[in-house]
Amino acid sequence: MSQLLLGSWIALLVGCTKPDPESNPGKTFPEAFKWGSATSGFQVEPGCPTWSDEVCVDTQSDWYAWVTSPEIIDSMPVTGEDVRHSPGMWETFEDDVQLMQQDGHTLYRLSIEWSRIFPDDASAATSVDELEPYANSAAILRYHEFFAALDAAGIEPLVTINHNTLPLWVHDGVGCHFDYENCTARGWADPATAYRIALYAGFVGREFGAEVDQWATLNEPFANLLSGYVQPGEDRAGPPGLTLAAEPGVAVIRNQIEAHAAMYDQLKTEDLSDVDEDGAAANVGIVLNMVAIDPKNPDRPEDDDAVAHADHLYHRLFLDGLTDGAWDEDIDGDFDTTRDDLADRLDWIGINYYNRMLVSSIAPFQPFGDLAPAFDFLPEFTWESYEEGIGRVVERASVYGLPIFITENGTPNTEDAEPILEGHLESLWQAIDAGADVRGYAYWSFVDNYEWSHGLDMRFGLYELDIATKARTPRPVAERYREIIAAHGLGPE
Ligand code: FCB
């Protein structure tokens, strides 16, 4: 493949009560709408101000191994920043929840780390019962404390069961990077991972079901594929960091879709407590990186085909798959069959929205060849802010008729974060005004954190983190967000 094409692939990854405009000049949101922020365990837990590394830092995940491996830091776009520069929420959680409460938050999206609860090889377990003896009780206790703190503050937890990281016994990302043929723990490329993560989801549902109703199974499955198997690059390079690895890449998509459905079933079986008494003990969704997709050249009809293929890969594989059971065996852009074991496995859709993508057709060239013919476009993706895109992706998701949560939205441009927040919320408000059923909004992120391969180089926090003291200082965007939450809307022009 030419450098030009490869370069372009590098750019790929790096995103009720209805208000009425006339009667609602304050642009208020629906009464039950929830406001909050989002984080993930790997990104915020390490860095405890006083607790020992042994207690604070989870060393058992593929991402921990990845960002601390000298060979990976040498050979990949991975900064290798000390993970202890993270905000240390494993220790500071209760204090942070107080800040959220002061700011009027009523929703907090967090993840439970599989590798914290199951640091050691639990692959012999064939049921949730059999999994129990392997669980780390200290980690479980700490997560219970998290939920108690949220409950006391009147903040509803939305829990991601898997936010990008896998335990080392499931994924040896460094080993697979250097010698894929001989690596044994192949993470998402191994169908057994779908089975194992479903048991883990069942365990989590049983253990925390009395504290949690809102579950997200996976975070941005397509982004994991791109940064791990298609084109790890400056935007994000994740384990195993393979380039155009067609065979595992296609398996990764399929296994993640199947994993969601199996996790859904386990959660419905194991979580039987309806915390908020809305009639459902477990509301199970998936979080997708939804993007506003446009043709690079609107006058070129082939680019419209490219838009359709990008929409298929980013959105439809998961959304059509988990609602109608639509299954595209060869990832060629057409659904081949319907699978009952995948259908009706979605209670809500989580949208992470960051940006727009311009695509141009490169058909008949296909970087994944015969294995995945729909990968036939070049995406251009930047961190340029495109605020109306959030309304567009909400409209796109609304087609499925399910409730929607904005599970992440924010900007690394912390200087300009206030107008960007307002622009996003204006576009979101308009979509709701037009009928979209959006239930809540989680800003990414509560506090600056470990931005995967970038470490602390990219910062998104409402609160600025002082790496040395761990002090949190509200940015102007935190103040503005507090006002919007207090007004439950954007206010008159
Ligand atoms: C999303 C991730 C989240 C964070 C933001 C900036 O892709 O889900 O963890 O890194 O990007």
Tens-place pLDDT, residues 367-387: 888 899 999 998 887 778 899
Closest CA to 164 of 226, 79, 235: 226
Find the mean pLDDT for residues 444-464.
Answer: 98
- Measured in Å, residue 443 CA sits from the centre of ligand 1 at 11
> Would you state the pLDDT for residue 139?
98
Q: Identity (one letter) of the amino acid at 5? A: L
Computed over its alpha carbons, how large is the radius of gyration of the chain?
A: 21
Q: What does the alpha-carbon distance between residue 376 and residue 481 come to, in Å, rounded to a whole number? A: 40
**CA 44 to chain CA centroid, nearest Å:** 14
Is 492 within a domain?
Answer: no
User: Left (φ > 0), alpha (ψ -120 to 50) or beta: where does 349 sit?
Assistant: beta
- Positive or negative, the Cα torsion across 61, 176, 379, 405? negative
Domain that holds residue 171: 6-487
Q: What does the alpha-carbon distance between residue 304 and residue 361 come to, in Å, rounded to a whole number? A: 8
Kindly state the helix (H) or strand (E) to which residue 415 belongs, with its residue range.
none
Any atom of ligand 1 within 6 Å of the Cβ of 219: yes
CA–CA distances in Å: residue 168 to residues 33, 43, 62, 165, 175: 38, 17, 5, 9, 10
- Measured in Å, residue 363 CA sits from the centre of ligand 1 at 30
Specify whether the CB–CB gap between 138 and 186 falls below 8 A: no
pLDDT digits (tens, 9 = 90+) for 84-96: 999 999 999 999 9
- Measured in Å, residue 314 CA sits from the centre of ligand 1 at 15
Q: Closest ligand 1 atom to the C-alpha of 412?
A: 6
Q: Closest ligand 1 atom to the C-alpha of 460?
A: 6
pLDDT digits (tens, 9 = 90+) for 224-252: 999 999 989 888 999 999 999 999 999 99
Identify the bridge partners of residue 135 per DSSP, sorted by sequence position.
none
Identify the bridge partners of residue 203 per DSSP, sorted by sequence position.
none
Helix (H, G, I), strand (E, B) or coil at 252: helix
Q: Closest ligand 1 atom to the C-alpha of 220?
A: 8
Any atom of ligand 1 within 6 Å of the Cβ of 352: yes
Is 1 within a domain?
Answer: no
Mean pLDDT of the chain: 94
- Measured in Å, residue 40 CA sits from the centre of ligand 1 at 9
What's 441's domain CATH number?
A: 3.20.20.80
Any atom of ligand 1 within 6 Å of the Cβ of 235: no
| Model confidence band, residue 118 (pLDDT cutoffs 50, 70, 90) | very high
More confident of the two residues 131 and 365: 131
| Model confidence band, residue 439 (pLDDT cutoffs 50, 70, 90) | very high
Find the mean pLDDT for residues 167-187.
Answer: 98
Any atom of ligand 1 within 6 Å of the Cβ of 328: no
Give the total number of structural domains in the chain.
1
Q: What does the alpha-carbon distance between residue 190 and residue 169 come to, in Å, rounded to a whole number? A: 12
> Would you state the pLDDT for residue 216?
99
Helix (H, G, I), strand (E, B) or coil at 91: helix
Give me the residue label for tokens 């069942």: 202
Find the mean pLDDT for residues 55-73.
Answer: 98
**Share of residues in the chain with pLDDT > 90 (%):** 89
Which of 109, 220, 385 has the most ligand 1 atoms within 8 A of CB, as the residue to mutate?
A: 220
Find the mean pLDDT for residues 450-469.
Answer: 98
Is 400 within a domain?
Answer: yes
**Residues composing the chain:** 493
Provide the Cα torsion 205, 209, 211, 212; round to 10°: 60
Any atom of ligand 1 within 6 Å of the Cβ of 63: no
Q: What does the alpha-carbon distance between residue 42 and residue 70 come to, in Å, rounded to a whole number? A: 19
Tokens coding 135 = 């669980």
Which of 288, 352, 407 has the most ligand 1 atoms within 8 A of CB, as the residue to mutate?
A: 352
How many other C-beta atoms lie within 10 A of the C-beta of residue 200? 25
Provide the Cα torsion 84, 87, 89, 92; round to 10°: 110
Find the mean pLDDT for residues 272-280.
Answer: 94
| Model confidence band, residue 207 (pLDDT cutoffs 50, 70, 90) | very high
| Model confidence band, residue 26 (pLDDT cutoffs 50, 70, 90) | confident
User: Which residue is closest in CA terms to ligand 1's atom 4?
Assistant: 451
Q: What does the alpha-carbon distance between residue 406 and residue 458 come to, in Å, rounded to a whole number? A: 21
| Model confidence band, residue 19 (pLDDT cutoffs 50, 70, 90) | low
Which of 451, 458, 459 has the most ligand 1 atoms within 8 A of CB, as the residue to mutate?
A: 451
Tokens coding 121 = 């090889």
Strands (E), 290-399: 292-295, 326-327, 337-338, 348-353, 356-361, 377-381
Find the mean pLDDT for residues 448-473.
Answer: 98
5 pLDDT more than 50:
no
Find the mean pLDDT for residues 150-166.
Answer: 98
Is 431 within a domain?
Answer: yes
Q: How many degrees, rounded to 5, is the angle at CA 206 between CA 205 and CA 208? A: 65
Q: 14-28, 53-67, 409-423: which has the minimum mean pLDDT? A: 14-28
CA–CA distances in Å: residue 404 to residues 42, 145, 353, 428, 487: 25, 28, 12, 11, 22
> Would you state the pLDDT for residue 234?
87
Q: What is this structure's pTM?
A: 0.95
Is 452 within a domain?
Answer: yes
Is 81 within a domain?
Answer: yes
User: Left (φ > 0), alpha (ψ -120 to 50) or beta: where does 269 sit?
Assistant: alpha
pLDDT digits (tens, 9 = 90+) for 136-152: 999 999 999 999 999 99
332 pLDDT more than 60:
yes
SS3 content of the chain, % helix, strand, coil (to 5): 45, 15, 40
Find the mean pLDDT for residues 56-74.
Answer: 98
> Would you state the pLDDT for residue 6?
37
Q: Closest ligand 1 atom to the C-alpha of 410?
A: 6
Which of 408, 413, 445, 458 has the most ligand 1 atoms within 8 A of CB, as the residue to mutate?
A: 408
Phi, psi of 378 (to 5 degrees): -100, 120
469 pLDDT more than 60:
yes
